[in-house]
Structure 1
Amino acid sequence: MDVTVIGISAVAVEIYRYFLRHRDEGVGSARRALGVDADTVEAAVEELERLSLLDLTDRHRVVATEPRIGIERLIERRLNELNSEIRRVLAARDAIAVFMEDRQQGERSSTALDIERVEGLERVRQRIDDLGFFSYKETLCLHPGGPLSRTAIETALPLDTRSLRRGLSVKAVYNPRAIEDPLMLAYLRDLRSLGGEVRITEESIDRMIVFDRSVAVVPIHPQESARGALLVREPGLVSQLVAYFDGVWEAATDIREYTEPSKEPPLLSDLERRVLAVMATADKDEIAAREIEVSVRTYRRYVADLMARLGAVNRFQAALRAKEENWI
């Protein structure tokens, strides 16, 4: 039984029931019988009087209102309150037309493209960090210049690691001058070992970063990147920039092939080829081992050996690299 919905507290319920059972009793008798302190009883009987459930004309002979009258009256009052609230809520729909008119007026008056200008190298780096943090799908980068500074590399690697561990795809294209620096080359190899994709192009490219194919960051001035950047969100412009990136990416060469030209594929046994084939498709080692008809221990030993030879950090990456190296 829950009558709090009609405004009666739990303590008041017990006192009301007491006076229904004990007609013509006084307030003091309720306090003694129920073991409730005087202040609590006083507050409850005042509440019941306010709700017209008790008549306190004579506090020594309290009269409880007949439930079918008192409770029904409270229910009716509460229903009226709820109906009034419902009408008020439904009336809020009238605001939709007003808000829509405001929106349409804004669309009619807005002629500027969705391009944000960010000046200063430090502010640009902060905005790029923010965009990378909130990305959920991929990052596309074009780097036309030479190597990054040691400080820039030390800042970039943790950010790249964070993105890759969150499952983002990272694709970057660099100019050959960038990998003339041993520190930069080591950074790019680390990036690749973490799951990033790095390619090299000798063609002239423009500096650019694209996040989730929805926001592009380009320099304010192509030859002076330190001046600042433009954050482009216009779908048509971003689409063109992504198409430009895709063209550069397809024509570029994987960094591993560029720095270590591909040799003839290694001689693999039939079993090694079968292990490579199931590594990226089987969910569990037991299933893969059963599929190629070897023990689980043997399968795991072959997997560990192949991953080491491919320089892969996980099985899926090993399978991808095996395809890139024409092992399978």
Structure 2
Amino acid sequence: MLQGLGLSGTAESVYLQMLRDRDAGPDLLAAALGIDEAQVRDALDELSRLMLVEESWAGDEGFRPVSPEVGLAALLAREQAHVARRNQEIEEGRVALARLVSELQNVRRGPDVEVLGTAEEARDRLTTLTAACTHQLCTFVPTRATSSRALESSRALSQVLLDRGVRMRTVYLESIRNDQPTWDHATWLRNNGAEVRLAATIPVRLQIIDQDHAMVPLADAESGSGAVVMTSPGVVAALMALFTQTWRSATPLGADRRRDHDGLSVQERELLRLWAKGATDEAAGRRLGVSLRTVRRLSSVLMERLDAGSRFQAGARALERGWLAPADLS
């Protein structure tokens, strides 16, 4: 129940038991919960760091629980601030990447940049690079559906890499849940040793091979576009930082589709942010990888929950409730 706020399961159990029996010491807490006293003391240390317990007023070096109204409210506020900072970092990374890709549109082949003018050239080069991968392959897949032919080809190469011991990390859109072949492929990857996570939106198609080659699209299009391969250590490191930021905020494949503390799904939360940036329903659908019909269904749910008659009113009320942060409006 409270693990979404950063508590471990043991710490949550100890805290709730302390609320039930405020006079219980570590020995009684351990007996009541059926765990070791050492585990209770570790949990108390964790609760103390989170400011959910404080030293007993009796001066006996024990602890007393902070009331949920005070302690959990403060913890929630800290988590919200952390999420706001993380979202701002991700957005800054997206802006930097968009600027980088834009600047690369007119570049020509150089010592650190290789321009691949067609989709066929890009696919052939990616196949060559990934086949030579020995350490790690990091991938963004910003589309909901992938062709069966592409999935079959990808699975064969992925099996070779996994057998070789390459660490594979892939971030898919949350919306692949609606495309069975892509979902099955992502599940196959996870079951065979790859790490797979889901995000509501993904900034750009990206592959980073062994942290020395990075490939991004030549144009902001899903098909018919070539690619740019970069080997400059600074550029690759920047793209790796973007991948890491998105990876940390993404949800592991197979995890429960839990709503956040405001009762919002990841897609609903992201749609609010896209609204704040002025995105149309069509643009929001492309970013989320869902149909226009799905966007309108999500919009209807949000407007009803916010009791809003317009997008502007919905945005204002989302800010009032803390569903949006000021950084989401920039």
What's the TM-score once normalised by structure 2's chain length? 0.44
Larger Rg: 1
